[in-house]
Amino acid sequence: MSDAPTPKIAVSGLEKSFGRKRVLTGIEIACDAGESLVVIGGSGTGKSVLIKCILGLLRPDRGSIRIDGEETVGAGSAARARLMRKFGMLFQGSALFDSLPVWENVAFGLIQGRGMPRQRAREIALEKLAAVGLGPEVAALSPAELSGGMQKRVALARAIAAEPEILFFDEPTTGLDPIMADVINRLILDCVRGLGATAVSITHDMISARKIADRIAMLHQGRIIWQGPTAEIDRTDNPYVDQFVNGRAEGPIRMEVRAA
Amino acid sequence: MIYFLAAVGAAFLAFLASVGRLAMFTGRALAVGATPPYYPRLMLRQIIDIGYFSLPVVGLTALFTGMVLALQSYTGFARFNAEGAVATVVVLSVTRELGPVIAGLMVAGRVGAAMAAEIGTMRVTEQIDALTTLSTDPLRYLVLPRLLAGLVTLPLLVFVADIIGVFGGFLVGTYKLDFNPVGYLTQTEQYLATMDVVSGLVKAAVFGFLIALMGCYQGYHSRGGAEGVGQATTYAVVSASILILLSDYLLTQAFFAQ
């Protein structure tokens, strides 16, 4: 018997295809409780598909995904609802609800998902907005009135509002200027550490990956081809990782022209 | 020849698959209504959007439809010396057929398209995925309130449209065709049966449900950014219009065919 603790997230033999296009071809990866795992890889390599399979937004074709040791592939709606309460997600485009003001976006999961009274949920929303550096004057604004960086902050506040055990970040710094990207990276670090949460991020921004990751894994052609502590990524002799990390056009990775 | 048959077969199978997907979507959307939570505030918003804001366009359409109907039936019936039947023709045509169908088609263009565009935009900007991650069932939150609002609101809208349509016929009949106002109204009331109005309202409920269903279904399954949302909007209006006309025939058959 092994005394190793059960990983918070354990993915094994995960496969997912769209028509004839095989996107994930046997993912093996695990993430311990409290760890920040960043999955890197080029555009169209299946990073978002991986995260959506773990979240249950996409149904895998084959394989196993365990959260706290509990199998989630094929879980019923009650089990799925229980799992969702453990998750918080920051979407690439923020995915804020246009029809609701900022505070209701942040409080949405508390009011609709957990049945919390609106007044109490509003107080928590203002606290979370403050935690990401936004004042109460933003609360009544519509998401369309905010800049991209502010929308990301609101989305981050929404992701942490219910204090989830596992946070997912989909390209958290894409489309932001370097300064705002650094602000978001710091906020992610603060939020993850503050909550003691497990974090899984996907990005192709190496500055972001180095900043927020305890461990990095690289996804290429549907498989994890390398994983290790953040400090080791510059020392690896894996030619794929070396080409990606250093952003070179020449190397074993060939850019696909077609998405599917 | 074999290629032609294969293409026809493939198209037919694709059609059956689409019908199956739509049936499953409808079943799932209705099944979530069996248990709470419910969103009455969202449903009320949809009722106002479908009913109140559609009133001007449906009212105007109904008014002109009643007016044209009176004029057409008068000029047509004059050939058989049957001008006296104008009031009856107007009221039966409006309540049984034109009120629900015209209102349904106008609402399909106005509301069905808006539903498809709104839900489609939410799909392509990952807002629907965000709902799921926030422990909220998108079918329960987005689709069910719209389906119920469509079902409830269109009969109310059609009831108003019926009155306006009959009034349009009355205006033309009395001011242009020189009918006696009391005689026109008496004839309108004399041949109108409860079933004529009820059948129109039942049709309206079915049309309202179909409009909301197609708007939600097409929006929910839209893909590929702005182009996909535009396509979903078109499909929502076209498919709702076709289903309205198809179900109109079936319901008329069920109500009135001997």
Write out pLDDT tens, residues A31-54: 999 999 999 998 888 999 999 999
Greatest distance between any 2 Cα atoms in chain A: 57
In chain B, what are the helix, strand and coil shares in percent, each to the nearest 5? 90, 0, 10
User: Does A95 contact B129 at a Cβ distance shorter than 8 Å?
Assistant: yes
Tens of each residue's pLDDT in chain B, 258 residues: 788 999 999 999 999 999 999 999 999 999 999 988 889 999 999 999 999 999 999 999 999 999 999 999 999 988 888 888 999 999 999 999 999 999 999 999 999 999 999 999 999 999 999 999 999 999 999 999 999 999 999 999 999 999 999 999 999 999 999 999 999 999 999 989 999 999 999 999 999 999 999 999 999 999 988 999 999 999 999 999 999 999 999 999 999 886
A116-125, long-range: CB within 8 Å, 24+ apart, which pairs?
Answer: A124/A161, A125/A157, A125/A161
Structure-block tokens of residue A88 = 């918080």
Tell me the shortest Cα–Cα distance from B136 to chain A, in angstroms: 5
Q: What is the pLDDT of residue B83?
A: 84
User: Does B141 contact A112 at a Cβ distance shorter than 8 Å?
Assistant: yes
As a whole number, mean pLDDT of residues A25-30 equals 94
Tell me the shortest Cα–Cα distance from A53 to chain B, in angstroms: 12
Q: What is the pLDDT of residue B82?
A: 85
Q: What is the pLDDT of residue B219?
A: 97
What pLDDT, in 10s, does the model give residues A54-111?
999 999 999 999 999 999 998 988 899 899 999 999 999 999 999 999 999 999 999 9
Structure-block tokens of residue A105 = 């976006």
User: Does A115 contact B129 at a Cβ distance shorter than 8 Å?
Assistant: no
Mean pLDDT (chain A, rounded): 91
Q: What is the pLDDT of residue A97?
A: 96
CA angle B163, B168, B172 (to 5 degrees): 145
With a pLDDT cut of 90, the percent of chain A lying above it is 72
What pLDDT, in 10s, does the model give residues B82-112?
888 999 999 999 999 999 999 999 999 999 9
Nearest CA to A175 out of A202, A196, A147, A146 is that of A147
Q: Contact A10/A65 with Cβ under 8 angstroms?
A: yes
Per-residue pLDDT at A260 exceeds 80: no
| Residue from A77, A91, A151 whose CB has the most chain B CBs within 10 Å, to mutate | A91
pLDDT confidence tier of residue A258, bands split at 50, 70 and 90: low
| Residue from B127, B135, B140 whose CB has the most chain A CBs within 10 Å, to mutate | B135
Going from the C-alpha of A112 to that of each of A1, A136, A162, A202, A254, the distances in angstroms are 43, 22, 12, 28, 45
Per-residue pLDDT at A246 exceeds 60: yes
